Amino acid sequence: MLRRHARAACTALVAAGMALAGLQAAGSAAAAPDARDPHRAPTVQTAARTLGADSARPELLDAMRRDLGLTHSQALTRLANEAEAGATAARLRQGLGGAFAGAWVDGAEADTLTVATTRAADATAIRATGARARLVTHSLTALEAAKQLLDRSAGTDAPVRYVDVRANVLVVEETRAGAGARLVKATGVPRELVRVVRTGQAPRPLYDIRGGDAYYMGGGGRCSVGFAVTRGTTQGFATAGHCGRAGTTTSGFNQVAQGSFQGSVFPGNDMAWVATNTNWTSTPYVKGSGGANVQVTGSVLQPVGSSVCRSGSTTGWHCGTVQQHNTSVTYPEGTISGVTRTTVCAEPGDSGGSYISGSQAQGVTSGGSGNCSSGGTTFFQPLNPLLQNYGLTLKTTGTDPGPGPGEPEPGGTWVAGKVYAAGDVVTYGGASYRCLQGHQAQAGWQPPNVPALWQRL
C-alpha cells in the first residue's frame, strides 16, 4: 500500500479547448428553474466547467507534461475532453443498459471516446454523440460477474483480476505458471472470457491536513494523507485502511500530535479516516509538484484512459492514466475489491495518498508493484465509497458546504453532501433526475445545473 502526503494548489482560470464539447451538449436535458426561485433560470454548466477542467494550475500541467509528454495546450485540452467524455459515456451507459460493454478515451488529448456494446443496433445512437462504437461479444455485466467468481477463490499466485474493456476480456495476472488456469478451472468460469498474463512482480502494500503530506502511526510506520474531510464540526482526512486500525493514534508531517483512526477497513476494501484534534484544519488541497497547492473541487470518477496524478510523502507528485476500474487485488494480507488500476508509480510510504484527475478527487493509494525509477503499476481505493461509508464530506474549493448529509434541499430529495452513485434517482424542483456519474453533491451542483452529472427523466 502506498502512503503519501499530497498538497493541491489554488487554480487560475484558463481557457481550454474542448474537442469533445459537442458530446456533453448532445445528451443534455433542458434545465428546470431553481426550486428556491422559480423565476430565476439556473446556470447550466458544461462537464468541463463543472469538473474544473477549464481551470488548472501550472504545477498540474507541468506534471502532465513531464509524465505524459504533453504540451501546456495539450494538457488543458485533454482535461476538458476527459470531462466531456465521462459525461457522454455515462449517458450512453444508462441508455444501453445490459448491452453496455465499457467505454474509454484514447489519443494524446483524449479526443476519441469509444463505447462498446453487444448489440449492433446501438451503433447509430453511440455515433450520434460523437463517440466511436465497437461491437463486442461480452457485456461488462457478464465479465464483472465472472470476476466476482474468481475473486472468491484467488490467492497470491493470481494476485490481480480486472476487466480490460478495450480487449473485452477478463484478465488474470499470475506470478506462478499455471495459477491462472487452475483458478479459472476451479471456479467454472468459461475459459473464453479470460486471458491469463504472467507478471514478475506481485503488488504489495506500501507503508510508510493536506493530501499527500506524511503522517506517522503511533505503533510505527509512515503513510500519506489522502484528502481532507469533515464530519460535522470534526476535521480529518481520508486514507488507506491498511495504514492503521480504529484507535491507532497519529502525528503529522511535523511529528506533532494529530489525531486517531476512527474507522478502518482492510482487507475487503482499503479505506479509513482519521479525526484530527483542534490544532489541525482541513484544507481543500493536495500537495503538488514542488509543494504547491493543487485545488480539489469535487469527486467525480473519471473514465478509463483518463489522466490521473498521485501525491505521496515518499515520491511526491507523479502522473499516469487510468487503466481499469473495479479491479481486485490479493495482497498477502487478503483480497481487496473495487480498486482502480493505474500506470502511476509509487513506493513504500505513499500509501493513503491522493489520486486526482484535474481537480476531481479520485481515491487514496492502496498498493502496487515497481517503483518510480523503472516505472510501475498502482491501485487506488475510490474515494466516493469511502466518503459514503463513514458519512464524510470532502473539503473542496469554490463553494460553500451547503446542507450537511441528511438535510433536505428545498424542492426535492436531492441533498448537498450526499454521495450519489450512477443510476440513483432524486427529485428537485418538481422534476426527477437520474445520476450519470458517481460524485458527492455540493452547493451549486443542483441537478438542473449540471447535466454532466444528472439526466432529467
CA dist 283 and 356 (Å) reads 15
Answer for the pair 66, 39: CB distance below 8 angstroms, yes or no: no
Q: Is the peptide bond before 267 cis (omega within 30 degrees of 0)?
A: yes
Is 106 tagged catalytic? Answer: no
- Catalytic-labelled residue, pool 260, 282, 351, 369: 351
CA dist 68 and 71 (Å) reads 9
- Catalytic-labelled residue, pool 62, 213, 270, 350: 270
- Catalytic-labelled residue, pool 138, 242, 318, 439: 242
In angstroms, how far is the first alpha carbon of the chain from the final one?
Answer: 42
Strand 132-135 to strand 112-117: parallel, antiparallel, or no bridges (unpaired)?
A: parallel
Is 208 tagged catalytic? Answer: no
For every residue of 306-333, DSSP letters joined together read -EEEEEETTTEEEEEEEEEEEEEEEETT
- What is the rounded radius of gyration, in angstroms, for the C-alpha atoms of the chain? 21
Residues paired with 195 in a beta bridge? 171
HSE-up of residue 174 (Cα within 13 Å, Cβ side): 15
Beta strands in 165-297 (DSSP E): 169-174, 194-198, 204-205, 214-217, 222-224, 227-231, 234-239, 249-251, 257-265, 271-276, 285-287, 293-295
Answer for the pair 366, 329: CB distance below 8 angstroms, yes or no: yes
CB atoms within 10 A of CB 267: 17
Beta strands in 283-388 (DSSP E): 285-287, 293-295, 307-312, 316-331, 334-342, 354-357, 360-371, 375-382
CA dist 449 and 390 (Å) reads 27
CA dist 345 and 244 (Å) reads 23
Is 242 tagged catalytic? Answer: yes
Residue with cell 516505472: 375
CA dist 457 and 435 (Å) reads 10
CA dist 141 and 127 (Å) reads 22
Active site residues: 242, 270, 351
